[in-house]
A and B are shown apart, each in its own frame.
Chain A
Amino acid sequence: MGATITEKILAKAARLDKTVPGDIVNARIDAVIGHDISGTAAFRELEKMKVSSVFDRDRILITADHFVPSPTLEAAAQFKDLGAFVARYGITNWFEQGRGGICHAIFPEQGLIRPGATVVGGDSHTCTYGALGAFATGMGVTDIAAAMALGEIWLRVPASVKFVFDGAMKRMVTAKDLILHVIGRIGVDGALYRAMEFAGEAVRSLSMDGRFTMCNMAIEAGAKSGIIEPDEVTLNYLRERTRQPFSVFRSDADAAYEREYRWDASQIPPLVALPHSPANAAPAAEVRDVRIDQAVIGSCTNGRMDDLRAAAEILKGRRVARGVRLLVFPATQAISLQAAREGLTEIFLEAGATVAPPVCGPCLGGHMGILADGETAVSTTNRNFAGRMGHKNSRIYLASPYTAAASAVAGCILDPREVN
């Protein structure tokens, strides 16, 4: 019996010949990531443990993305504390405001996440890095502090579930629509504790940006990780970003999957997830008469160049509807700069959008566009739980950048292929 890519990576990390689902292993960690909330809290846990140094100061990756620029005195204190911790522990990969961006975009962009790596992070969307053929999973700050201290952490080897998309995607259908389809079919605990492996012609046709989007939302189905086997697209992405060596693993043909799903990507239309669950998938075309107050384009799910280009394709020469606030959050400083150089920023501004800095913004109800009582947003983010983006009586429809931009123009939820 062969092994899946996930089982092979974890065997390497645990220095074992092989691992099988259910094994509890002590895995060697290649990178530990954190941000202004989880990083600060993890360093504080290290301090409480009286741990005076980290296992490897080059393998701890820290950015500030949730509560920056600081909206409150507490947040300002947190950012200041984080800077002090980073200095004290001698962290080399520290991406402060103006040099970084959203964790799950900046670390891959900088070539710091590579195939075959085992990565743990103080953020549930750490599973994003599976797009590069790495094993990556989110944890809380005590686990993250332990990983920072020891360079190891216990892990239970997950069973793998395979999701195959055959065929070619239709126009204005994106990776976001594929992953909303998956979660819609299996539910928010449909892959609980499992590794989700995405494969098939449509997945291979995705750019790295699209692959990050897919793996990013594995957690919304309860998964431990999401992963895509590296191919030429992956290697080209890495070639521009790192000269460090890495190991490419692939699943064996006779690897054991707990279950396999197979869909025809050409049958999937632009989708939205209705409030208040990422599993409430419905074709955008069937959602009629839902007026929106806000549209958000960005986040660790959909704030990369492909996403901004898709939004600009819709917004070019059009105007955001009256009564709608369109917020655009490029995911990193470099993406922001590239968007400006390509003229996308100009398109957004001419359309009436507010172009924001590279931060998480309202995704978690923090700041920069939280929703009022009774308001509705369409958003390219990953969660539409009740109250996630602000008031408990606000509503979020998750969608792709095409659909969010089209909805912003129409003033209501709209299939982007119907935009005037």
Chain B
Amino acid sequence: MAGRAWKFGNDVDTDAIIPGRFLTNWNKHPERLKDFCFADARPEFAAGVRPGDVVVAGRNFGCGSSREGAPVAIRMTGVAVVIASSFARIFFRNAINVGLLPLESPEAAQDIRDGDLLEIDAVKGEIRNLTGGRAYAFKPLPAFLQEMLAGGGLARYVQRRLGITDC
């Protein structure tokens, strides 16, 4: 599935992704966050983004607060992949935990232009730029995290450890 790139710069902070004023009791209705994603930083994003689109940014994406509402807001818009030169560490953990795939690729982050059509090949470990006719490698997730994801993520891990069967 191909999606369009939404290009951002360096040091995109979590206040830019989802301003603090929208965070009260956010995970009671996480789907509501999608309307406020990048509300101040890029007001046209929430209305224009389509499922399958990709957020592309420079260095230190998601710096600032530990708010998990930030990757959730992006995920709720239908975006499933963020490509960046590097990620802030709390955002990286949070993204993994909420099913938003953070792909580290300085080459892709630099080359991709706003609106480029992208295709992610998870098997080959490749980001393909259908507009620019180029492909970029991304840094694979640590083996430990790949196993965690293959097992259904952190919440399922906790449940297995405690012998909880989800129904």
Contact = CB atoms under 8 A, between A and B. Distances in A.
A6 interface: no
Most buried by A among B23, B66, B142, B159: B66
A387 B19 contact: yes
Interface in B77-104: 86, 88-90, 93-94, 97-98
Interface stretch (B8-16, B105-113, B114-122): B8-16
Contacts of B64: 124, 219, 383, 385
Contacts of B150: none
A142 B98 contact: yes
Given A72-B24, A142-B97, A364-B20, A192 B67 contact: no
A224 B89 contact: yes
B154 interface: yes
Contacts of A383: 13, 15, 64-65
B63 A81 contact: no
B159 A49 contact: yes
Contacts of A387: 15-16, 19, 40-41
Interface stretch (A37-45, A106-114, A172-180): A37-45
Contact of A143 (B24, B40, B86, B93): B93
Contact of A49 (B21, B65, B155): B155
A352 interface: no
B129 interface: no
Interface stretch (B25-33, B44-52, B130-138): B25-33
Interface in A215-244: 219, 222, 224
Nearest to A77: B25
Contacts of A222: 60, 63, 88-89
Contact of A45 (B90, B93, B155): B155
Nearest to A43: B27
B88 A142 contact: no
B129 to A, nearest CB: 25
A145 interface: yes
Interface size class of A (residues with CB under 8 A): 35 or more
Interface in B128-167: 142, 144, 154-155, 157-159, 161-162, 164, 166
B13 A385 contact: yes
Contacts of A138: 66, 90
A123 B94 CA distance: 12
Contact of B24 (A74, A189, A388): A74
B16 A386 contact: yes
Contacts of B142: 24, 156
B158 A51 contact: yes
Nearest to A124: B66
A140 B60 contact: no
Contact of A141 (B28, B68, B157, B159): B68
A330 B166 CA distance: 45
Contacts of B89: 192-193, 222, 224
A139 interface: yes
A366 B94 contact: no
B155 A277 contact: no
A138 to B, nearest CB: 4
Nearest to B11: A188
A392 B68 contact: no
A222 B64 CA distance: 8
B75 interface: no
B68 A140 contact: yes
For A37, A143, A386, A388, the residue with the greatest tally of chain B CB atoms inside 10 Å of its CB is A37
Interface string A184-219: 000011001100000000000000000000000001
B63 A188 contact: yes
A75 interface: yes
Given A189-B59, A192-B60, A122 B20 contact: no
Contact of B88 (A41, A123, A192): A192
Given A140-B97, A386-B41, A189 B155 contact: no
B67 to A, nearest CB: 7
A192 B10 CA distance: 14
Contacts of A224: 89
Contact of B90 (A140, A364, A366): A140
A246 interface: no
A74 B32 CA distance: 13
Contacts of B11: 188-189, 277
20 contacts: A37-B23, A38-B66, A45-B27, A50-B164, A75-B25, A81-B25, A126-B66, A139-B66, A140-B68, A140-B97, A146-B155, A156-B142, A188-B11, A189-B11, A189-B59, A193-B89, A277-B11, A365-B21, A383-B65, A386-B41
Given A77-B24, A222-B89, A224-B89, 20 more contacts: A50-B166, A74-B25, A81-B25, A121-B66, A139-B90, A140-B90, A140-B93, A140-B97, A145-B155, A150-B158, A154-B144, A156-B142, A189-B11, A189-B59, A189-B63, A192-B89, A365-B20, A385-B13, A388-B15, A388-B20
Interface of A: 24, 37-38, 40-41, 44-45, 48-51, 67, 72, 74-75, 77-78, 81, 121-124, 126, 138-143, 145-146, 149-150, 154, 156, 188-189, 192-193, 219, 222, 224, 277, 364-366, 383, 385-388, 392
Across chains A and B, which 6 residue pairs bring their CB atoms closest together, nearest first? A140-B68, A140-B94, A392-B40, A364-B20, A142-B97, A189-B60
